[in-house]
Structure 1
Amino acid sequence: METSPQVTAGAVGGVWRVSVGGCWNLDTPWPETADAALGGLADQRLTGLTLTASGLDSWDSSLLVFLVQLVRRARARKLKVTLDLPEGLKRLIEMAFAVPPRAGAERETERGGAFERIGAAALALPPRIADFLSFLGDVSIAVWNLIIGRSRMRSHDFISAMYECGVQSLPIISLTSMLFGLILAFVGAVQLTQFGAQIYVAGLVGIGMLRVMGAVMVGVVMSGRIGAAYAALIGTMQVNEEVDALETLGISPVDFLVLPRVLALMLMVPLLTLYADLMGIIGGYLVGTLMLNLNPMQYLQATAQMVPYRQILIGLVYGTLFGVVIAIAGCYQGMRCGRSAMAVGQTTTRAVVNSIVGIIVMTAIITIICNVLGV
């Protein structure tokens, strides 16, 4: 018949003597005296620890865990440890302490204070900025090599990238832009109908879409669709060491992977912006003619009269810069991806966030410049 685990402890001449016995298994909790045996090592008068076994029956790793804790606490206090145990148990304890833990191997669970984290982030910022500027320099060199005819970019990759970010994006651009035009017209109509000025909905929708909102809608959609795709594609190639293979073959990854995608987005986003402007105006047209009972020709004439053509040029400037921001953010995160599946997911998320933040910052900068120039 198996007996319950037993622990007896006491101090004899400055030595903490602990004796174990009974049956130890994982299904049976430690005896209450086990905590007292562990706590007794805090006595500052102790000079050593002796472990013995008396009436010990069957045992498993639960006994080993208990004894290892005793030995670890004793060694932390630099006490002399004597093991008077069965040979197999004694050998396991010695093996547990045969190799000291490597410094820094344990996972840190403590988090620093707010100021400490802010300071760490500030110190990590300059290397990141330098790395990003280095990437921009590589892209600039790739563009120059393309101009002088020394680029390794393939025309097939450029055309494929244009098709991916242009033609395949038309359905989602059509839907979002038309719906945004509808929303913009509804918002304007709520106030304008109170003054009998429904016709000014045409100017509101036209200027809003052509000047900035069409480009912003395209930029946000392309950030989630194309920027994330670029980051995931290049990041996966990093995991599979395909980028390293290109460098081994003497092929610049920037020329081969980044340049065609940057040029494709820089060219296609302005064209998509024009298309989004048209779909937004159509959405406002539907609201004006079907909901506000405006004459179709009157709505079109009001749009042409109220919307200066320079608004189209401003929208194209927005779209071109947004395309560069999205391509740079996606490709940069992909090129700096780690070598694991988790890193690819994190890279994709960062690419989308950086693209959207870049679009917002760029919108603010261009808007301020336009206001200063009076355009």
Structure 2
Amino acid sequence: MNQCGFELSATEGKKSEAHIQGDWAMGNSVPSFKSVKPQIEEHGYVQIDLKSDQLGHWDSRLMLFLFELERYCNEHNITLNMTELPSAAQDLLHQASAFPVRESGQKIIYASSLLTQVGQHALGLYKQTQVMLTFVGEVCLSSLRLLRGKACFRQRDLWLIMQECGPGALAIVTLISLLVGLILAFVGAMQLKIFGAQIYVANLVGLGMAREMGAMMTAIIMAGRTGAAFASQLGSMRVNEEIDALETLGISPVDFLVLPRMLALIVMLPLLCLYADLMGILGGLLVSVSLLDISVVEYLIQTKSALDLNDFLTGLIKSSVFGVLVALSGCLSGMQCGRSSSSVGDAATSAVVAGIVSVVVADAVLTVVYQIIGF
């Protein structure tokens, strides 16, 4: 390999010729711009003509040197003539100069107007809505194929997902529901005790768990536990190109992956809701017996008189709707996952947020509807 160098020679006036010599490639000792800078400052050149007739092989080390030289010349009003450089080197320098240089500790801020930001957010919302509606439409078509017996998925996958969504979640549902029942009973007891109406704690806990808290707390638990798991599973399959492989084989990913997960949550969430209602009532029983001197028989009789099947039915309907929303949120986030590993974490986070928000909104809407129809 030829020894590389950078030699400055004065011509007429304050002009200079810079001869680039040798191979500016890995393995050679190349001059740094700091070693050349004192020569330029000493002679006070106003124009430098680069000559590359003796240049051999070169790589990014030459480009870095020329980039620093060009920046220095621009800052000190020195004309740098690069017409005799190889065309590839000129193109690379032009592309590098097209981006602003960030100094140490300086942040590059690309300002945009408020109207531009509003427009960008509006376009993003429109595209997201379009993707969501398309996905919901695909799920509806897949459900129709299921009713006709033409949906393509493995039954053992459905049973496995049901086991993970149902029995696998009993421990966390038990803990949360029992604590919710304890909290409802304790808060209600503090107020009802003033009027000597402690027995109505059973009404408060029973109605609260059956109509509202049982279904809602179970759905939120499943959104954080199962919805995130769905998003992570489908996101990992997207990263590993398993979903692309299914499409190549002519198998619908919605039928094979989304449909069994949605069916599993629709079936298991109402059952978990009933179990959560039982655990919440048990939590209220513990508070009533230990703090309010109410016997177990009195509490159970009062609970039975306060509740009817319609109260449980309202919770079951809500839980079924919540199951669809949690499954759709998790599967949509997973199917939209990018190709990087970090996208899987983003998909799981998006699934949890979307699932919880949709559950709370749906609960408010259904509560208003129940109130209107007197259910």
TM-score of the pair, normalised by structure 1: 0.79
Aligned-residue sequence identity (percent) comes to: 42
| Secondary structure of the structure 1 residue equivalent to 2:280 | helix
| Secondary structure of the structure 1 residue equivalent to 2:149 | coil
Paired position in structure 1 for 2:139: 139
CA distance in 2, matches of 1:293, 1:111: 67
Query: Does the aligned pair in 2 maintain the 1:25–1:62 contact within 8 Å?
Result: no
Q: For residues 193-208 of structure 1, what are the structure 2 equivalents within 5 Å?
A: 193-208=193-208
Query: Does the aligned pair in 2 maintain the 1:25–1:63 contact within 8 Å?
Result: no
Deviations 1:216-238 (A, max 9, x none): 11011101110000000011000
The answer for unaligned runs of 5 or more in structure 2 is 1-11, 19-30, 52-59, 102-107
Deviations 1:106-147 (A, max 9, x none): 897525355533321111211211111111111111111111
Shift of 1:98: 4.4
Paired position in structure 1 for 2:161: 161
Paired position in structure 2 for 1:171: 171
2:70 maps to amino acid: V
TM-score of the pair, normalised by structure 2: 0.79
2:160 maps to amino acid: S
Paired position in structure 2 for 1:347: 347
Q: For residues 30-109 of structure 1, what are the structure 2 equivalents within 5 Å?
A: 48-49=47-48, 68-72=67-71, 74=73, 80-82=79-81, 95=89, 98=92, 100-101=94-95, 109=109
1:288 maps to amino acid: S
1:168 maps to amino acid: G
Paired position in structure 2 for 1:266: 266
CA distance in 2, matches of 1:104, 1:366: 56
Query: Does the aligned pair in 1 maintain the 2:63–2:89 contact within 8 Å?
Result: no
CA distance in 2, matches of 1:51, 1:247: 56
Paired position in structure 2 for 1:129: 129
Query: Does the aligned pair in 2 maintain the 1:239–1:338 contact within 8 Å?
Result: yes
**Residues 282-291 or 63-72, more deviating:** 63-72
Against the structure 1 CA distance between its residues 51 and 151, is the aligned structure 2 distance closer, same or farther, given a 3 Å change threshold? closer
Q: For residues 1-375 of structure 1, what are the structure 2 equivalents within 5 Å?
A: 48-49=47-48, 68-72=67-71, 74=73, 80-82=79-81, 95=89, 98=92, 100-101=94-95, 109-375=109-375
1:71 maps to amino acid: E
Shift of 1:72: 3.8
Deviations 1:199-249 (A, max 9, x none): 111011001000011111101110111000000001100000000111111
| Secondary structure of the structure 2 residue equivalent to 1:328 | helix
1:356 maps to amino acid: I
Deviations 1:288-328 (A, max 9, x none): 01111112111111111122331101000110000000000
2:186 maps to amino acid: F
1:369 maps to amino acid: V
| Secondary structure of the structure 1 residue equivalent to 2:141 | helix
Query: Does the aligned pair in 2 maintain the 1:269–1:320 contact within 8 Å?
Result: yes
Superposed CA RMSD = 3.8
CA distance in 1, matches of 2:343, 2:331: 14
CA distance in 2, matches of 1:105, 1:266: 53
Query: Does the aligned pair in 2 maintain the 1:161–1:261 contact within 8 Å?
Result: yes
Against the structure 1 CA distance between its residues 105 and 283, is the aligned structure 2 distance closer, same or farther, given a 3 Å change threshold? farther
1:208 maps to amino acid: G
CA distance in 2, matches of 1:251, 1:211: 41
CA distance in 2, matches of 1:161, 1:195: 49
Against the structure 1 CA distance between its residues 200 and 358, is the aligned structure 2 distance closer, same or farther, given a 3 Å change threshold? same
Shift of 1:68: 3.0
CA distance in 1, matches of 2:150, 2:187: 52
1:302 maps to amino acid: Q
Query: Does the aligned pair in 2 maintain the 1:177–1:277 contact within 8 Å?
Result: yes
Against the structure 1 CA distance between its residues 106 and 361, is the aligned structure 2 distance closer, same or farther, given a 3 Å change threshold? farther
| Secondary structure of the structure 2 residue equivalent to 1:359 | helix
Against the structure 1 CA distance between its residues 63 and 255, is the aligned structure 2 distance closer, same or farther, given a 3 Å change threshold? closer
Against the structure 1 CA distance between its residues 73 and 30, is the aligned structure 2 distance closer, same or farther, given a 3 Å change threshold? closer
CA distance in 2, matches of 1:306, 1:298: 12
| Secondary structure of the structure 2 residue equivalent to 1:199 | helix
| Secondary structure of the structure 1 residue equivalent to 2:94 | coil
Query: Does the aligned pair in 1 maintain the 2:207–2:307 contact within 8 Å?
Result: yes
